[in-house]
Structure 1
Amino acid sequence: MERTEEPGRMPLTAAVTGYGTVAGPGLSASVGGSESASVGGSESALLLIPEPEAEPSQLWRPLTKEELEVTAGGPRWRKARCYLVLLFWLTWLAMLAVAIAIIVMSPRPVKTPLEWWQKSLFYQLQPDLLTEERADGSGVNALCKQLPYLRSLGIGALILEGPFDKKASLNHNATGKGFGTLPQIQHLLAESHKADLKVVFDICELDLLGPQDVAGNADKTSNLSATHDLRFWLEQGAAGFAICDTDAAYSETTLLEWKGVLKEFSSEGNKRIVVVKQMKDVLPPLKPSQGNVTLVDVVMRSILPLSQHILSAKEVAVSIETHLQTREDVWPSWTVGGEASLNLKKLLLVLVMTLPGTPVVRYGDDIDQAQNASLEVGSSDGDTHTDKEKRPLASALFSTLSHSRAREEALLFGSFTFLPFNSSTDNSSSSNSTLPPILAFLRSWGCVHFLILLNVGPEPHALDPAWAPRLPKAGVFVANTGTVRLGSTTLDTLELRPHEAVVIKLFEAGSYS
């Protein structure tokens, strides 16, 4: 039976494009125009759209040798390598230039050329040691035999006391009876020249100018006579003369005339000198009223004041500290001068040998060759084992200090810095005041520092760690007056024995200077 369509009613199978149907994705509108396509499209349309599948990724693999050669040989990489090489050399040159600039601009000490008397060690001989009549055989001839030995110890010059009669003249015909005759003095000068030793005549307290008039002017004839005698001894080989600041000849007029005579006999490396021995507390002016010429070359000062009694440890400490705080422009020369106890004898030797200036050591058994020879043979039965050990230690100490001063610039002409623990001069007014535990000073040249410690008191003392915080804490022993100290040390653990002096060369951690 055929189905009849009623008028006004839409058939179910009617194809209505875009109405009542959902077109599938990717289907064009023309396909949906047919009835079968419309029905099939509406039934097969997907409600969720799937994501497209990712393409398979390529695996990483290193370049082969051929591919690497092709890539590295390209123009871009060649240019990059040139830039890197250029950058390396520019950086290296810049670092080198900065290092050179730092070295050039950094402050450094300037080595001052020194005269022979500024580098020498003076050895002062008393008149009674040069007489031929002494029972022990000492005299001019015995002294001549010891000259090579003295030179080996580092001594560079001799100061002869008493070649002339005091209150007499400088005339070579008026030589002192205790010293010897003119041929003996000439023999001593010749032997000293062979041993490379200078000889300075001590003419202190001699009446060189003769009688003076009421106005105080020196007799011109006597002055010319003294100048003539100076020329004679300079011709014999004398290296200079020592005069006291209390002598009548110590005046601007006389010294200027002497300087002219000495200049005639001076040569490069062999300059003749005038030494003034300071006897007063205040030294008179050393420069003339006109000109910058210095009247004398060396000023000899005594560390200890002259006294009729042996100075106590307190008096020695006060005198040392006073000199350590004194600054002088003229080149100084230090000698012990006064008398101290035997316990402080070696301490004073260390002080004289380490102060800035020229040390003057007086004759003593410590470095006498005859005494050293007797020690090798043997000593008396009464000497203890400790006494036998202490005697050669003094000679070894002198030799160590002398050679250290000769080779170390810091000890020869380095700067000087006083390092006070506390002031002994402030406590000197009190009768119950104690001695300063330690006196100390520093000799420096560039990065090299020498610390000299002096324990004048009778008690052992350790260093306070807060005493000098800027000093290097480590060092090595150079010399000391007590039992031999060897090797390295630290200031925090160092303890000074009674009446001991120690010389330490300081260094920074990891430094080998």
Structure 2
Amino acid sequence: MPLNVGDTGYGSVAGQGLSSSGAAGSSETDALLVPELGEEGEREQEWRPMSKEELEESAGGPAWRRLRCYLVVLFWLAWFAMLATAVAIIVTSPRPVATPLTWWQKSVFFQLQHNLFTGTPPAGSGAVGALCDHLAYLKSLGISALILSGLFGPSNATESWERSGTLPQVQHLLSKSDKVGLKVVLDVCDVQPFGAREDVETKEAWDATQHTLRFWLGQGVAGFLMCDTDAAYTEKSLMLWRGVLEEFSREDEERIVVVKQTRELLPLLRVSGQQLNVTLVDVVLRSVLPASPRPLSARQVTDAIETHLQTPEDTWLGWMVGGKAPSDLRRLLLVLLMTLPGTPVVKYDQLYPGQGGNGSQYSDSTYNFKSRHSTVALFSSLSHNRAREEALVFGNFTFLPFNVTSNMSSSSPPPLLAFLRSWGCVHFLVLLNAGPEPQGLDPNWAPRLPEAGVFVASTAMDRLGAVNLGTLALRPREAAVVKLFEPGSYS
């Protein structure tokens, strides 16, 4: 018997939302969940993602456009603020200011042997011609100026040169030197025609001095070297010299006066009666070692060096070895000359030992060609490093007392000497061991300096590459130049 429930028919179930008609909720295909009605009886809008067109329309609205403008302006303001801060830090940070140096303050001087122009073997016209042929080679080694010594006797005058036939040789040498870019300074120590005599200061004597100065300056001489014992070393005569030299000086070619100091105290002559005192002497040439009839011991050499390293100076100095030293210290002294602040003056027999022929302390018959070549290579390395490294030209000088020497006796081994040449963030450490034993640095050495470095030069020319100063030990009679840098830096 069919079951009928009301009017629905078989199998139909009447309930809420369901009906037998085709209205909503009356079919099995209708949704089972019906959206709820809002407060006003309307169905709530169904959520769905925005299309591309709708996103572009919304992003282009005034609110988003204003926000993007604010962000762009904020970015550029922050960028310019950081740039201005960096520039301000660079401008206000302390940095070294290089004083413009003249040609003679940046030069390496080379003093020729005394018998070159005396006519004694192996000198003479052939020696002068050989020197002219080697001028370009000397220039390539880093030499910038020559000091010609032994040209004049105590009473030589220009007229006697003309009569002897030596004058054309010197003129030829001056001409060749100018062509290769070498300056020439004449050594006129104890030569009367270059200064008034002590007993007679007449107008004729001053006129003769001016005539002699003008003659040689006209030949292209860049300056003169006198001794502090000369009669011309007075304020009155130097004022005369200065006036003549200024006539021939140009902005790029200043003529100079060099005074060789032979006495313990040297009066620094200055122009008086002016608001700004001007020195009448451009370079004071000083010897590192004292005069001695016999070679000094290693201890005496070290004491002399240490004395000069700890003496502050207020004038521009030129340095030469001067006194006699053991032959095994020649390269150590060469390193010292080329790294001290001032103008180095290297003598012919220092660069070419055994060829001086003038009784030099460096003349040694066993000094072979290989050793001479090594000495020239060391000099060339030092001169070229000095030319391109500001710390070795403009740099400040600091003596580093690595070893306490006050309680040492004369019989104790010489201490290890060291000094620092600094310019900005660049530091060059120069180490000198004149003793017979290897020496390392004191463990408490300058703790604020970097311990890492790289070898620039050494006396044996066999030190290369990086080095740690904590483990560095100098061999006997060795000097080394080390460029310091922070670990991980290779500048």
Normalised by the length of structure 2, the TM-score is 0.82
CA distance in 2, matches of 1:191, 1:348: 30
**Is the 2:299–2:410 Cα contact (8 Å) retained in structure 1?**
no
Match of 2:346 among 361, 366, 371: 361
Secondary structure, aligned partner of 2:104: helix
Q: 287-296 or 272-281, which moves further after superposition?
A: 287-296
Counterpart of 1:87 in structure 2: which amino acid? Answer: L
| Contact preservation (8 Å) 2:433, 2:478 | yes
Kindly indicate whether residue 72 of structure 2 is the aligned counterpart of residue 117 of structure 1.
no
Aligned match for 2:412, one of 420, 424, 433 = 433
**Aligned letter for 1:397?**
L
Query: Is 1:348 aligned to 2:333, yes or no?
Result: yes
Whole-angstrom distance in 1 between the partners of 2:354 and 2:388: 24
Larger Rg: 1
Aligned residue among 96, 107, 131 for 2:83: 96
Q: 1:151 to 1:231 in 2, by over 3 A?
A: same
Pairwise CA distance, 1:510: 3.3
Moved more, 360-369 or 268-277: 360-369
Q: Are the counterparts in 1 of residues 196 and 209 from structure 2 also a CA contact under 8 Å?
A: no
In the TM superposition, residue 272 of structure 1 has moved relative to its aligned partner by 1.0
Secondary structure of the structure 1 residue equivalent to 2:444: coil
Q: Deviations for 1:482-502, whole angstroms, at most 9, x for unmatched residues? A: 251111112112111111111
Distance 2:186 2:440 in 1: 45
Q: Quick one: which of 226, 231, 236 aligns to 1:243?
A: 226
Q: Is the 8 A contact 1:72 1:78 kept in 2?
A: yes
Alignment match of 2:426 (pick from 405, 426, 448): 448
Distance of aligned partners of 1:389 and 1:187 in 2 relative to their CA distance in 1, 3 Å threshold: closer
Judge conservation of contact 2:414–2:435 (CA < 8 Å) in 1: yes
Q: Distance in 1 between matches of 2:399 and 2:468?
A: 20
2:352·2:372 contact (CA, 8 Å) conserved in 1? no
Residues 302 and 368 of structure 1, relative CA distance in 2, 3 Å threshold = closer
**Alignment correspondent of 1:139:** 127
- Match of 1:23? none
Counterpart in the other structure of 2:268: 285
Taking a change above 3 Å as real, the CA distance of residues 388 and 248 of structure 1, as seen in their structure-2 partners, is closer
After TM superposition, the structure 1 = structure 2 runs for residues 43-192 of structure 1, keeping only pairs within 5 Å, are 65=52, 68-135=55-122, 139-166=127-154, 168-169=155-156, 171-175=157-161, 181-192=166-177
- Match 1:479 to one of 444, 452, 457: 457
| Displacement after TM superposition at 1:230 (Å) | 0.8
Equivalent residue of 1:479, what SS? strand
What secondary structure sits across from 2:245 in the alignment?
A: helix
Secondary structure (helix, strand or coil) at the match of 1:139 reads helix
Quote the offset at 1:224 in angstroms.
2.0
- Equivalent-residue separation in structure 2 for 1:504 and 1:326 (angstroms): 23
How many residues were matched structurally? 435
Alignment partners' CA distance in 2, 1:481 and 1:172: 43
Q: Secondary structure at the match of 2:146?
A: strand
Q: Equivalent of 1:220, from 203, 211, 215?
A: 203
Deviation at 1:82, TM superposition (A): 2.0
CA change 1:164–1:452 in 2 (3 A) is same
Alpha-carbon contact 1:131-1:180 (below 8 Å) kept: no
- Taking a change above 3 Å as real, the CA distance of residues 231 and 75 of structure 1, as seen in their structure-2 partners, is same
Which residue number corresponds to residue 408 of structure 1?
389
Deviates more, 1:250-259 or 1:122-131: 122-131
Q: Which runs of 5+ in 1 are unaligned?
A: 1-57, 372-381
Give 2:160's aligned amino acid: A
Deviation at 1:228, TM superposition (A): 1.2
User: Tell me, what secondary structure is at the counterpart of 2:381?
Assistant: helix
Deviations 1:234-268 (A, max 9, x none): 11111111011111110000000110001111112
Q: 1:432 to 1:312 in 2, by over 3 A?
A: closer
Counterpart AA for 2:116: L
Q: Verify the 8 A CA contact 1:164 1:176 in the aligned structure 2.
A: no
Q: Quick check: 2:116–2:150 contact (8 Å CA) kept in 1?
A: no
The separation in 1 between residues aligned to 2:244 and 2:369, in whole angstroms, is: 50
Q: Is the 8 A contact 1:475 1:488 kept in 2?
A: yes
Task: Show the 5 A alignment for 1:486-501.
Answer: 486-501=464-479
Q: Residue 107 of structure 1 aligns to a residue in which SS? A: coil
**CA distance 1:176–1:364, change in 2 (3 Å):** farther
The reply to whether residue 322 of structure 1 matches residue 322 of structure 2 is no
Which amino acid counterpart does residue 446 of structure 1 have in structure 2? Answer: G
Q: Which amino acid aligns with 1:422?
A: N
SS of 1:361's partner is strand
Which residue in 2 is equivalent to 1:397?
Answer: 378
Task: Note the alpha carbon deviations across 1:36-92, whole angstroms, 9 max, x for none.
Answer: xxxxxxxxxxxxxxxxxxxxxx99997654554454334333322222222211111
